[in-house]
Amino acid sequence: MNGKLADCHVAIIGAGPYGLSAAAYLRAAGEEIRVFGVPMAFWQNQMPAGMCLRSNWGASHIADPKRELTLDEYCLKNGNHVSKPIPVERFVDYGLWYQRRAVPDIDERPVRSVEIHARGFKVFLGDGEAFTSRRVVVAGGISAFATRPAQFMGIPSALASHTSEQNDLRKFNGQQVVVIGAGQSALESAALFKEAGIPVEVIARTRALNWVGLHSRLHNLGMISMMLYSTRDVGPVGISRLVAMPRLFRRFPRCFQDRTAYRAIRPAGAGWLQSRITGVPITLGRRVVSAAVVGSQLRLRLDDRTERLVDHALLATGFRVDVSRYPFLSQSLLRQLETADGFPVLNRGLESSIPGLHFLGKPAAWSFGPLLGFVSGAEFASNALIRSITRKNGSN
Ligand SMILES: Cc1cc2nc3c(=O)[nH]c(=O)nc-3n(C[C@H](O)[C@H](O)[C@H](O)COP(=O)(O)OP(=O)(O)OC[C@H]3O[C@@H](n4cnc5c(N)ncnc54)[C@H](O)[C@@H]3O)c2cc1C
């Protein structure tokens, strides 16, 4: 690969917390970068209005190398007060404020395709422009990985939609809705429906709801709390400290990593949602075995042989990483990419089996643990990325 001949040194695909943070670090390190994507688009368009972040204040800063672009600085500079938990609208505004300061020259055009090229990669944009880049950093988020259960495959999205397809739940006013799932997204959607006066039932396979953040006393014990919980705010007591050290975490046997990761991020709601869903009917330990369109409605059959006739099913059924679903990765590139269970296998610099191709965010979670699925993992990811890129530049 002859990097000197490439049009660009590093192309970053994605302008969410990971792409923005990586851009800020690389630019501060003097790298020539181009950044693509609509800033904070996922948070703005694919989460419900009125939602609040589950991660706490300390875990919701988008990392920057000088620590000048924290949530606290955002509040200070704008004379703003941001309530806790953090409303998604304020977090989007914070992300856009971060972007204007760190990456004002962002290119909002979508990347249509990335191919392997003699000079590194050839990147094609949505409007047909193409250029070569020595490196590509994929920070494309999880939107492409939305999971729709098989029972709902043939159902039109007007009757059954994934949570990431909705950003204003008030549009279901006057309808009867079910929410499928028992994670934060499911429970928060149920709360928003209830508060909008929209009749809703939650149906989930789990036999009991899990909650996080119920042990507030354990978080207020000074040094002891610091030993029990990491400020990264991913996982319960103890596990929180372990997953906050991705380099150590990745050295454990795979089965331990998988078990611990599941425990850290199993479906659960934030404790502050409990009172908001009081009175919402919740059917646990049941699965939907079939869904059928009946006139303008949807009939759901559950495994206890009961039925529900509803106007809409909101599928809070999560995201399953499978990088072959990123529409911009070419087939020839995917054939050369080593993956495990849909995740790219990454080295210490978050670089894949294809030299110069890096992945940030949730796709990096197989190699570095669950922290990488959260905003608070961006500091680790950006530091690992610049160390890898600047070291390799030096040795070239
Ligand atoms: C309902 C919900 C609530 C959540 N709450 C929290 C929370 O409280 N705290 C937390 O830490 N995490 C939370 N998460 C997880 C959250 O998704 C990640 O933390 C965060 O989005 C990771 O940032 P990212 O930059 O990897 O991805 P994203 O924020 O999704 O950014 C991806 C970017 O890539 C761009 N992009 C994609 N494809 C292309 C393309 N072809 N060309 C150009 N650009 C492209 C998109 O436009 C977008 O800007 C939540 C997730 C969901 C679904």
Contact status, residue 298 vs residue 160, Cβ threshold 8 Å: yes
Helices marked H in the chain: 17-28, 41-45, 71-78, 88-102, 184-195, 223-228, 239-243, 246-249, 254-265, 331-336, 365-368, 378-395
Q: Do residues 342 and 23 touch, judged by C-beta distance below 8 A?
A: no
Q: What residue's CA is closest to ligand 1, atom 30?
A: 141
* Average model confidence (pLDDT) across the chain: 95
> Distances in Å between the alpha carbon of 237 and those of 73, 196, 244, 299, 377?
29, 35, 12, 42, 18
pLDDT tens by residue, 196-212: 999 999 999 999 999 99
Question: Probe ligand 1: pick from 47, 64, 88, 142, max atoms within 8 Å of CB?
Answer: 142
Tell me what pLDDT residue 5 has. 75
- Report how far ligand 1's centroid is from the alpha carbon of 43 (Å): 6
* Range scoring the smallest mean pLDDT among 42-51, 324-333, 384-393: 384-393
Whether residue 121 contacts residue 11, with contact meaning beta carbons closer than 8 Å, is answered with: yes
- Whether 395 shows a pLDDT value over 70: the answer reads no
* Band of pLDDT at residue 1, cut at 50, 70 and 90: very low
Which pLDDT band, with edges at 50, 70 and 90, does 134 fall under? very high
CB-neighbour burial class of residue 135 (10 A; exposed 0-12, middle 13-18, buried 19+): buried
Average pLDDT over residues 284-300: 98
257-271, 328-342, 381-395: segment of lowest average pLDDT: 381-395
User: Ligand 1: distance of its center to the CA of 373 in Å?
Assistant: 9
Mean pLDDT computed over 208-236: 84
Lowest-confidence region among 80-94, 151-165, 380-394: 380-394
- Residue 139's alpha-carbon distances to 37, 44, 392, in angstroms, are 10, 17, 20
For residue 254, count CB atoms less than 10 angstroms from its CB and return exposed for 0-12, middle for 13-18, buried for 19 or more: exposed
Ligand 1 binding pocket, CB closer than 6 Å: 13-19, 36-38, 41-43, 47, 53-55, 110-111, 139-143, 185, 328, 361, 374-376
Query: Residue 3: pLDDT above 60?
Result: no
Q: Please tell me the distance between residue 140's alpha carbon and the centre of ligand 1 in angstroms.
A: 7
- Tell me the C-alpha distance between 156 and 148, whole Å: 12
pLDDT in tens, 168-188: 999 999 999 999 999 999 999
Distance from the alpha carbon of residue 142 to the mean position of ligand 1, in angstroms: 6
Expressed in angstroms and rounded, the spacing between residue 12 Cα and the centre of ligand 1 is 14
* Band (380; pLDDT cuts 50, 70, 90): very high
Average pLDDT over residues 14-21: 98
Could you tell me whether strands 130-138 and 357-359 are parallel, antiparallel, or unpaired per DSSP bridges? parallel
pTM of the model: 0.96
Distance in angstroms (rounded) separating the CA atoms of residues 33 and 173: 45
Q: Report the atom number in ligand 1 closest to the C-alpha of 14.
A: 34
User: Has residue 69 got a pLDDT over 70?
Assistant: yes
Instruction: Pick from 232, 374, 376 the residue to mutate for probing ligand 1's pocket: most ligand atoms within 8 Å of its CB.
Output: 374
**Ligand 1 atom index nearest CA of 110:** 42
326-370: pLDDT as tens digits: 999 999 999 999 999 999 999 999 999 999 999 999 999 999 999
pLDDT in tens, 77-125: 998 888 999 999 999 999 999 999 999 999 999 999 999 999 999 999 9
Closest ligand 1 atom to 185 CA: 1
Taking CA atoms only, the protein residue closest to ligand 1 atom 34 is 14
Q: How far, in Å, is the centroid of ligand 1 from the Cα of 51?
A: 15
Residue range 231-246: average pLDDT? 94
Ligand 1 center from residue 17 Cα (angstroms): 7
pLDDT of residue 324 exceeding 80: yes
Q: Which of 47, 232, 375, 382 to probe ligand 1 with, by most ligand atoms within 8 A of CB?
A: 375
pLDDT at 278 exceeding the cut of 50: yes
Atom of ligand 1 nearest to the CA of 20: 25
**Looking at residues 63-88, what average pLDDT do you find?**
94
d(CA 111, CA 94): 24
Tell me, what's the pLDDT at 4? 54
Mutate to test the pocket of ligand 1, among 12, 25, 42 (most ligand atoms within 8 A of CB): 42
Q: Which residue has tokens 């304020």?
A: 90
**pLDDT of residue 237 exceeding 90:** no
* Ligand 1 midpoint to CA 380 (Å): 17
Q: What pLDDT, on the 0 to 100 scale, is given for residue 7?
A: 95
Q: In this model, does residue 2 exceed pLDDT 60?
A: no
